[in-house]
């Protein structure tokens, strides 16, 4: 096909009178082949231009996706940090509430049991003195 293409181009570039041995039908056949080659080349050129346009569009879309993914990554990092601090605050609040509850329970238990110990320690002294005075009475 390459030799035919070269001959076709040669016939296009050089006038017909330079090739007197090619008469009529042969010349028309070469002209048709040259026209076919030209049409194929134009189609290929159009396809290349179309492909270039599609590649440009694809490149723009990939750049958009890259920018969007960067923004998404930044947003997820800030959101994760925000949720982490929120979680820490809730744990601190829960710890304070539990600690406060335990402190209140401890205070109530101390109030209940310490006076009994002081009464209990003064009680046996009274019982000792009462026991000594009781049978004597």
CA-based angle 77:83:87, to the nearest 5? Answer: 145
How far out from the chain centre does Cα 26 lie? Answer: 67
pTM given for the model: 0.44
Q: Which residues contact 4 (CB under 8 A, 6 or more apart)?
A: 33, 37
3-class DSSP state of 21: coil
Mean pLDDT of the chain: 80
What is the band of 68 on the pLDDT scale with cuts at 50, 70, 90? very high
Cα within 13 Å of Cα(65), Cβ side: 6
pLDDT for 76 beyond 70: yes
Q: Bigger pLDDT: 15 or 33? A: 33
């Amino acid at each position: 096909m390459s030799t035919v293409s070269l001959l076709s181009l040669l016939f296009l570039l050089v006038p017909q009178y330079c090739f007197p041995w090619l008469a009529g039908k042969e010349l028309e056949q070469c002209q048709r082949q040259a026209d076919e080659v030209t049409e194929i080349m134009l189609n290929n050129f159009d396809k290349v231009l179309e492909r270039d346009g599609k590649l440009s569009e694809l490149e723009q879309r990939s750049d958009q996706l890259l920018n969007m993914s960067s923004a998404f990554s930044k947003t997820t990092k800030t959101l994760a940090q925000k949720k982490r601090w929120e979680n820490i605050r809730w744990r601190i609040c829960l710890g304070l509430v539990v600690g406060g509850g335990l402190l209140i329970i401890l205070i109530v238990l101390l109030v209940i049991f310490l006076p009994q110990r002081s009464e209990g320690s003064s009680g046996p002294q009274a019982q000792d003195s009462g026991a000594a005075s009781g049978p004597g009475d």
